[in-house]
């Protein structure tokens, strides 16, 4: 008998993760674990120069190595079609010509019967290059900077920035730099491709099965319905598995060429070139303020490297457009082409580096004005978005400052530098604001009530490690009044109702809302079958049997609305997540400073 709940309260309550046991006992099947009959193994060979062309590629010894089936290069790789980038990580495919655009770019794919044989064969590939001058340090190429765009406007301007800065009785004018960051997820990027009667199935470590289908079908000239992508489990990603990268396309193309299923797993070294990275930024912050710390102008400019073929913008000045009330705000983003692989979003892309630059500058303003850092932020608290003028959909940052200060014991802080010690150790207390946009994307889900009184949820969303297998049954349970342990979720498959890439902290909101809608629709259908009111869930199996139904399904969808931007930005409301962080600095021994 299905459990009946008088007061459903599963959402927000702690539960043992549904995917916990499979993960720790080896039951969770990741992409590289997929058993496929007749599977071959591929190893990619990367270029050892950053710029130039392949003059000569000697693959004879590799081709003769034990177990090697084929060595694919630009000379014998099938031609690939044009892809849209993004969601493709790179617009130009490797193994299509002799040109080298970055070190590590793939110049060969060695396919063998075993992984060990493929590795050995790859070690035998010999390349002779015609090197060209390589640009790798974007800071030396500032004069070549240009404006590009991905998903947001690169520049913004509100008020008269020159006048605003000139009115400032206190000025902060500093340059801050953030470093490259690389993803290095626990699960390496992996792809298994198999063809059956002209239909391609890809078992992939991806944050977006729908993106993989879109890009691979473009590259291989296939109708999207001829490509199925599966990703039931994902061992982390942080963005590196969001876009579709060359190894995914090459694996699918090579499997078709060879007529055999093929698996390719990137090495840890290839993590640094094979699926993007968060690029370094150089940010200049100019801030003007009155003597009591009230802002008169903010100019925030950012520069980041991108590849020679594509233009990735790290929007490191976005936070300055929204976080503080200011009559004049100017932001600008530019990029510089270098001979490196194309960057990609990484966990807290854009707003992460942006928060760093702005908040360091605000800290310097607090010191210069003598205003407590928390008080400085309160004096410049934004009640509406200062750039768009939109009201915030919700904002509790003022209360967050107060609560955080209370819990941290902020009142015990002494403001003078080097004034706080613990024994012989210098101690620094600091705080910062945090902001993240609210990404809203469409999603769909299907819920089926089954003969045994269990419930099946289906959606093509992905599980990146955030608990989707647990969360979605909780949401459905509260609507259906059926215990979560009677509800299971199937996901990560392009044959299921469509959901977006797992990114931007959007999955629970989007897919969860679709699951909630599907559950409500299922409950309504039950009521219709019952002739009016909805009977208790324990009576549903008998109801379905009387109606001659083995199971009953309903679908639900959610979206940000027809007038929203591609990232879900609302036309009437400014939607952000705000936060405040306090910290004690790492210990600095007095004798070291």
What pLDDT, on a 0 to 100 scale, did the predictor assign at position 590? 31
What residues have CB less than 8 Å from 454, skipping those under 6 apart? 486, 487, 488
Residue 564 included in any domain:
no
Mean pLDDT of all residues in 233-247: 95
Cβ atoms of residues 289 and 259 within 8 Å: no
Q: What is the pLDDT of residues 336-356, one digit of tens each?
A: 999 999 999 998 788 889 999
Residue 425 included in any domain:
no
Cβ atoms of residues 404 and 580 within 8 Å: yes
Considering the domain architecture, whether residues 68 and 201 belong to the same structural domain is answered as yes
Say which CATH number the domain at 361 has: 3.30.365.10
From 272, 299, 318, the end of a domain falls on: 272
Would the pTM count as exceeding 0.85? Answer: yes
What pLDDT, on a 0 to 100 scale, did the predictor assign at position 7? 57
CA geometry: angle 165, 166, 171, nearest 5 deg:
60
From 211, 239, 272, the end of a domain falls on: 272
Residue 544 included in any domain:
yes
Lowest-pLDDT choice from 102-106, 545-549, 576-580: 576-580
Report the number of distinct structural domains present in the chain: 3
Considering the domain architecture, whether residues 404 and 541 belong to the same structural domain is answered as no
Considering the domain architecture, whether residues 460 and 549 belong to the same structural domain is answered as yes
Residue 575 included in any domain:
no
Considering the domain architecture, whether residues 287 and 155 belong to the same structural domain is answered as yes
Domain enclosing residue 395, as ranges: 139-181+277-418
Cβ atoms of residues 198 and 311 within 8 Å: no
Considering the domain architecture, whether residues 108 and 167 belong to the same structural domain is answered as no
Considering the domain architecture, whether residues 265 and 404 belong to the same structural domain is answered as no
Interstrand relation of 227-230 and 170-178 (parallel, antiparallel or unpaired): unpaired
Mean pLDDT of all residues in 477-501: 96
What pLDDT, on a 0 to 100 scale, did the predictor assign at position 192? 99
Q: Using only C-alpha atoms, what is the Rg of the chain?
A: 27
Q: What is the pLDDT of residues 410-433, one digit of tens each?
A: 999 998 888 998 888 999 889 999
Q: Is the pLDDT of residue 4 over 60?
A: no
Cβ atoms of residues 245 and 89 within 8 Å: yes
Residue 318 included in any domain:
yes
Q: What is the pLDDT of residues 162-219, one digit of tens each?
A: 999 999 999 999 999 999 999 999 999 999 999 999 999 999 999 999 999 999 999 9
Q: Is the pLDDT of residue 88 over 80?
A: yes
Considering the domain architecture, whether residues 462 and 320 belong to the same structural domain is answered as no
What is the C-alpha to C-alpha distance for residues 524 and 522, in angstroms, rounded to an integer?
A: 5
Mean pLDDT of all residues in 55-66: 98
Q: Where does residue 150 rank: exposed (0-12), middle (13-18), buried (19+ CB within 10 A)? A: middle
Considering the domain architecture, whether residues 189 and 177 belong to the same structural domain is answered as no
Considering the domain architecture, whether residues 246 and 365 belong to the same structural domain is answered as no
Q: Is the pLDDT of residue 562 over 90?
A: no
Considering the domain architecture, whether residues 46 and 168 belong to the same structural domain is answered as no
Residue 580 included in any domain:
no
Q: Is the pLDDT of residue 55 over 70?
A: yes
What pLDDT, on a 0 to 100 scale, did the predictor assign at position 3? 44
Mean pLDDT of all residues in 392-421: 92
Q: What is the pLDDT of residues 456-467, one digit of tens each?
A: 999 999 999 999
Element containing residue 561 per DSSP (H, E): none
Considering the domain architecture, whether residues 408 and 477 belong to the same structural domain is answered as no
Residue 319 included in any domain:
yes
Of 158, 223, 581, whose CA–CA distance to 407 is shortest? 581
Residue 312 included in any domain:
yes
Residue 8 — very low, low, confident or very high, per pLDDT cuts 50/70/90? low
Considering the chain, what is the average pLDDT of its residues?
Answer: 94
């Amino acid at each position: 008998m299905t459990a009946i709940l008088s007061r459903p309260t599963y959402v927000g309550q702690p539960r043992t993760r549904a995917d916990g046991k499979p993960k720790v006992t080896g039951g969770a099947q990741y992409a590289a674990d997929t058993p496929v009959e007749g599977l071959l193994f591929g190893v990619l060979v990367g270029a050892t120069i950053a710029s130039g062309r392949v003059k000569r590629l000697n693959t004879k010894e590799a081709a003769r190595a034990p177990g090697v089936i084929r060595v694919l290069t630009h000379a014998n790789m099938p031609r690939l079609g044009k892809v849209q980038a993004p969601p493709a990580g790179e617009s130009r495919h490797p193994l299509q010509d002799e040109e080298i655009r970055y070190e590590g770019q793939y110049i060969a794919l060695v396919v063998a019967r075993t992984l060990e044989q493929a590795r050995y064969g790859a070690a035998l590939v010999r390349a002779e290059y015609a090197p060209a001058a390589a640009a790798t340090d974007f800071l030396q190429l500032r004069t070549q900077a240009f404006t590009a765009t991905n998903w947001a406007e690169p520049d913004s301007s509100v008020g008269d920035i020159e006048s605003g800065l000139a009115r400032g009785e206190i000025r902060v004018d500093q340059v801050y730099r953030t470093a490259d960051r690389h993803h290095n997820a626990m699960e390496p990027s992996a792809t298994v491709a198999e063809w059956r009667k002209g239909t391609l199935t890809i078992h992939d470590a991806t944050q977006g099965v729908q993106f993989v289908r879109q890009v691979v079908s473009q590259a291989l000239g296939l109708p999207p319905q001829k490509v199925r992508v599966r990703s039931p489990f994902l061992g982390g990603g942080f963005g590196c598995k969001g876009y579709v990268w060359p190894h995914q396309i090459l694996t699918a193309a090579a499997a078709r060429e060879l007529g055999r299923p093929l698996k390719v797993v990137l090495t840890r070294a290839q993590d640094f070139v094979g699926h993007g990275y968060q690029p370094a930024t150089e940010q200049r912050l100019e801030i003007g303020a009155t003597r009591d710390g009230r802002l008169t102008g903010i100019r925030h400019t950012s520069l980041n490297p991108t590849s020679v073929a594509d233009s990735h913008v790290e929007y490191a000045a976005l936070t300055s457009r929204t976080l503080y009330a200011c009559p004049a705000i100017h932001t600008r983003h530019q990029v510089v082409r270098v001979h490196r692989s194309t960057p990609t979003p990484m966990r807290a892309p854009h707003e992460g580096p942006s928060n760093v630059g702005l908040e360091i500058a605000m800290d310097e303003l607090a010191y210069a004005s003598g205003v407590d850092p928390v008080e400085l932020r309160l004096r410049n608290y934004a009640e509406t978005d200062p750039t768009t003028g939109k009201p915030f959909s919700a904002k509790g940052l003022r209360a967050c400052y107060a609560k955080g200060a209370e819990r941290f014991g902020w009142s015990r802080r002494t403001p003078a530098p080097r004034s706080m010690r613990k024994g012989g150790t210098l101690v620094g207390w600091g705080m910062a604001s945090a902001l993240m946009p609210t990404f809203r994307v469409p999603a769909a889900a299907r819920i089926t009530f089954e003969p045994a009184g269990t419930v099946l949820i289906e959606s093509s969303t992905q599980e990146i490690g955030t608990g989707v297998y647990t969360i979605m049954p909780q949401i459905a349970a509260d609507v259906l009044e059926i215990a979560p342990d009677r509800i299971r979720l199937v996901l990560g498959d392009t044959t299921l109702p469509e959901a977006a890439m797992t990114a931007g902290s959007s999955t629970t909101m989007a897919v969860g809302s679709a699951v909630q809608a599907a559950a409500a629709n299922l409950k309504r259908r039950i009521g219709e079958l019952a002739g009016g009111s909805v009977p208790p869930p324990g009576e549903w199996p008998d109801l379905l049997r009387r109606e001659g139904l083995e199971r009953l399904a309903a679908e639900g969808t959610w979206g940000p609305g027809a007038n929203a931007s591609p990232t879900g930005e609302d036309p009437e409301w400014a939607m952000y997540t705000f936060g405040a962080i306090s910290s004690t600095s790492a210990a600095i021994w007095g004798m070291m400073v």
